[in-house]
Amino acid sequence: MNVRRRKHRAVAHRIGATGAAVATVLFAAGALAQTAPSADAGVTPGGANDGGALPDPVDEPAQPQPTDPEVEGNDTSGDTSGEGSGEGSGANGAGGARGRAPAEDAAETREAPLTEDQRARMIPSDGELPDPNDRAPRRFFFPPYLREWGRDHDTTVLFPFYWNSRVRDSRWLLIPPYYRLRSRTANADAFFPLFYHGTGTSADGSNYSTTIVPPVWVHRTRGPERARSLAFGAFPLFSYYENFGANGRLQGEHLIIPALLTFHRWSRTSQHTITPLFQYVRDGSSTTWTAGPVIPLVARHSSPNLRWTLVWPALFFQRNDLLNDRHLTVVGPFWTERTSSSLSVNLAPVFFHAHDRTSSRTTVFPLFHTESSREHFTLATLLGGYTRVRNESTLILPFYQNHRGVSSFDAVAPFFYYSREPRTGSSTIQVLNFVHNRRATGSTTVFFPLFAHIHEEGRFDTTITPVFGHSYDQTRRSRIVVAANVHYESSPEHRVVNVYPIWYSAAGRRWHHNVFFPFVWDIGNQDEGRQTTVIFPFYANVGDRRGYTRWAFPDVFWWRHGSGESLSWGYDIAPFFQYGEPRRGDYYWSVLYGLAGFRRQGNYEQTRVFWATINNRRPPNGRADNDADRDTSGPRRAGTTRVDRDVIVDL
């Protein structure tokens, strides 16, 4: 029964959605009457029915089928309703139903029980099992009129003015702009776009009703038990909603008034109320509220672990952290913070005080600052200060300073300074612009700005003066000497001599460069086989292991690359004469770049006279058809000769 019900409902919906489109297309083709096949109608072709309908193969299945009392009851009522409504040519179908003998009905009720396979096949699903008692729908179509009817469904369409459909106990009627729906679970009436009213029953058993008269709407629900809800509004002015639970208690509500920038939402565990002048937020046991336009003038927050209050015009703020037992109060420039073990009192920017069980701190700006604890004491005043941390102490007075601890110093800044570190045996003394440092590994002496000497035993020794500098690195055995504009550097790996800004010379084991700027350049690298030589503006040479290219004043070029079979060479006395052999057997020469010239490249020859080119092909060794000279590098047509692949490049 569920399979057949879904099938008829789907047919009715498809007829309603596609009937109008089908009517439009077929209307252009002319009048057409369409009926169901004669085998379904129970009428012999070209003759009348003699005393009853022909046997319907759907009504008499090949195998016995079980009888479902609910299905049979619905099918019988469907046939009766079809007769009572006067379904025109559907009488044949009704006659086929009446033509069944009582003995056949009795036989069907005594059918054998279903097998396990038959029970598995009867699980309801979309379109899997056809209804053996269902007949194909009948249809009459004469554009723009369409009527289709069958068991438990009937649809009539007069496009585009009228649509009426029935599927079992559900009926739809559309006479634009009026729409009506009647069914067991829903009823609706609409007069688009001015009015809508609908009622029905939801899946949970509650009843609902909706009424819309734009821009006003009202929606109500009731059930199950004492549950109910109400929503109404006038778009875009306001919207209100409330709902009550099954026990009759309010569960939630919300209110929106866009013009007043007002939003309110309430539930049993939270609340949000927002207006231009007041804001309130509650989430469980935590609440926060503020009052004031744009910038809150008053704000309050409360939760089990934290509470705070803000009064902005009075510059008042109070915060109580109940979880950590910390309390803060701020009134303008004065604030105090209190915990179970500490207290802080402050008046900015003059007075600051804080103390706990082990330490205290007090500042009276700018007169003095004092701070003390079990291992620390500090006192600072305008005339000096003293601080002590464990066994380390420092004293600072206007004309004397000292420090005592792991290292010690005495000073009369900025004229005198003397420090010593007993553990390492190092000491430093400074008198005006003279500084001397002595340590176990070396020494440093500076008489600024005339002299400096730095020595590290076994590592390096450096001496610097305004006109001379020398440094020797004992670990790398390298030396650097700088005097005025001369720079000298040497090591086992390289040597550098520079006389700024005209001479630069450096050499390594297999590389070198010598530059007499900007006239002479000599740069070479034996590992890479490269050599560049420039004598500006008369000569230039760039070469590597494969060859070289050279130029000489005023405009002479000559080059040579490769060796043996791949040797290529040539020269160019621009613009008068050019000669070259790009590869073995090929050559070219030219006068004034084409006034006269000749090129041979492979089997091609080119002659140039007054910069015009004459190209001709020369058979290889005079034998064009010799098999040894045929092109075997790729496919070619039968009967064709070799095509030389050399390319001529004009000068």
Structure tokens that stand for 499 in this block? 């006389």
Report whether pLDDT(447) > 90: yes
Among the listed ranges 189-193, 236-240, 639-643, which one has the minimum average pLDDT value?
A: 639-643
Q: What span, in angstroms and rounded, lies between the C-alpha atoms of 516 and 538?
A: 15
H or E segment to which residue 599 belongs: strand 596-601
Position 81 scores a pLDDT of 36
User: How far apart, in Å, do the first and last CA atoms of the chain sit?
Assistant: 95
What is the DSSP code (8-state) at residue 492?
S
Q: Which one is predicted more confidently, 386 or 101? A: 386
Identify the bridge partners of residue 473 per DSSP, sorted by sequence position. Answer: 460, 478
Among the listed ranges 127-141, 171-185, 459-473, 544-558, which one has the minimum average pLDDT value?
A: 127-141
Question: What pTM, to 2 d.p., does this model score?
Answer: 0.43
- pLDDT grade, residue 27 (50/70/90)? very low
The three-class DSSP label of residue 629 is: helix
Report whether pLDDT(21) > 90: no
Count of all residues that appear for the chain in the document: 651
| SS3 per-residue string spanning 425-444 | CEEEEEECCEEEEEECCEEE
Q: Which of 53-62, 155-164, 291-300 has the highest mean pLDDT?
A: 155-164
Among the listed ranges 109-123, 343-357, 473-487, 533-547, which one has the minimum average pLDDT value?
A: 109-123
Structure tokens that stand for 315 in this block? 């510059």
Among the listed ranges 127-136, 363-372, 419-428, 540-549, which one has the minimum average pLDDT value?
A: 127-136
The mean pLDDT of 338-364, rounded to a whole number, is 95
Q: For the chain, what are the domain ranges?
A: 1-152, 177-268, 391-440, 441-492
Position 278 scores a pLDDT of 86
Q: Which one is predicted more confidently, 277 or 628? A: 277
- pLDDT grade, residue 26 (50/70/90)? very low
The mean pLDDT of 76-81, rounded to a whole number, is 37
H or E segment to which residue 79 belongs: helix 69-84
The mean pLDDT of 430-457, rounded to a whole number, is 93
Q: What span, in angstroms and rounded, lies between the C-alpha atoms of 173 and 188?
A: 10
Report whether pLDDT(194) > 80: yes
Report whether pLDDT(7) > 50: no
What is the DSSP code (8-state) at residue 509?
S
CA dihedral 418, 422, 426, 432 (to 10 degrees): 0
Q: What is the pLDDT of residues 478-515, one digit of tens each?
A: 888 888 888 989 888 889 999 999 999 999 989 999 99
Report whether pLDDT(435) > 60: yes
Q: Burial-class residue 248 by CB neighbours within 10 Å (0-12, 13-18, 19+).
A: exposed
The mean pLDDT of 564-578, rounded to a whole number, is 87
Q: What span, in angstroms and rounded, lies between the C-alpha atoms of 188 and 196?
A: 7
Peptide linkage before 554 cis (omega within 30 of 0): yes
Report whether pLDDT(15) > 70: no
Position 40 scores a pLDDT of 37
Q: What span, in angstroms and rounded, lies between the C-alpha atoms of 343 and 532?
A: 81
Q: What span, in angstroms and rounded, lies between the C-alpha atoms of 347 and 364?
A: 10
Position 242 scores a pLDDT of 94
Report whether pLDDT(13) > 80: no
Report whether pLDDT(61) > 50: no
Evaluate the CA torsion angle 11, 17, 21, 24 in order and state its sign: positive
- What's the one-letter identity of residue 227? A
Position 113 scores a pLDDT of 78
Gyration radius (Cα) of the chain, Å:
55
> Angle CA(132)–CA(136)–CA(138) in degrees, nearest 5?
155
Report whether pLDDT(364) > 90: yes
Position 5 scores a pLDDT of 43
Share of the chain above pLDDT 90, in %: 48
Peptide linkage before 398 cis (omega within 30 of 0): no
Position 617 scores a pLDDT of 81
The mean pLDDT of 183-201, rounded to a whole number, is 94
Structure tokens that stand for 555 in this block? 């405009």
Among the listed ranges 44-48, 131-135, 596-600, 610-614, which one has the minimum average pLDDT value?
A: 44-48
The mean pLDDT of 450-457, rounded to a whole number, is 92
Residue closest to 162 by CA, chosen among 149, 185, 181, 145: 145
Report whether pLDDT(418) > 90: yes
Burial 150-162 (b: 16+ CB within 10 A, else e): bbbbbbbbbbeee
Q: What is the pLDDT of residues 303-319, one digit of tens each?
A: 999 999 999 888 999 99
Q: What span, in angstroms and rounded, lies between the C-alpha atoms of 241 and 248?
A: 16
Q: Which of 2-6, 68-72, 449-453 has the highest mean pLDDT?
A: 449-453
Q: What is the mean pLDDT of the chain?
A: 79
Structure tokens that stand for 304 in this block? 């089990």
Q: What span, in angstroms and rounded, lies between the C-alpha atoms of 233 and 228?
A: 17
The mean pLDDT of 603-612, rounded to a whole number, is 89
Q: Which one is predicted more confidently, 486 or 99? A: 486
Asked if residues 434 and 440 have their Cβ atoms less than 8 Å apart, the reply is: no
List C-alpha distances in Å: 135 to 38, 43, 474.
12, 14, 112
Cβ-based neighbours of 601, under 8 Å, separated by 6 or more: 582, 586, 588, 646, 647, 648, 649
- pLDDT grade, residue 152 (50/70/90)? confident
Residue closest to 388 by CA, chosen among 376, 405, 400: 376
- What's the one-letter identity of residue 495? R
Position 80 scores a pLDDT of 35
- pLDDT grade, residue 131 (50/70/90)? low
Asked if residues 236 and 257 have their Cβ atoms less than 8 Å apart, the reply is: no
